[in-house]
Amino acid sequence: MKDTLYYIVSSIVDNPKAVKIEEGEQDGIINFSVTVAKEDMGKVIGKEGKIIRAIRSVMKIPAIKQNKIINITLNEAPQ
């Protein structure tokens, strides 16, 4: 799932080398922390949050197949 998420996010942004994804699991919930460059935050969020909401919806499909719950948070890379 991490590779799929990385592929989706890096395809959207202008600086794919700045994309970092950290994965952790707690109480049966898989947490993905996505870090992108400051100038790419708007592209990943989208108007009214539509892009990040779509990414979360797409990523739920493999999670449901594996009987997992996922949580995706978006972080800005420090300067």
Q: What is the pLDDT of residues 17-75, one digit of tens each?
A: 999 999 999 888 999 999 999 999 999 999 999 999 999 999 999 999 989 999 999 98
Query: Does residue 78 carry a pLDDT above 90?
Result: no
Query: Does residue 1 carry a pLDDT above 80?
Result: yes
Residue 22 lies in domain: 2-76
pLDDT band at 77 (very low <50, low <70, confident <90, very high): confident
Q: Quick one: which H or E segment has residue 33?
A: strand 29-36
Where are any strands of DSSP class E within the chain? 20-26, 29-36, 69-76
pTM, whole model, 2 decimals? 0.87
CA-based diameter of the chain, in Å? 38
CATH at 43: 3.30.300.20
- The domain tally of the chain equals 1
Query: Does residue 79 carry a pLDDT above 70?
Result: no
What rounded mean pLDDT belongs to the chain?
92
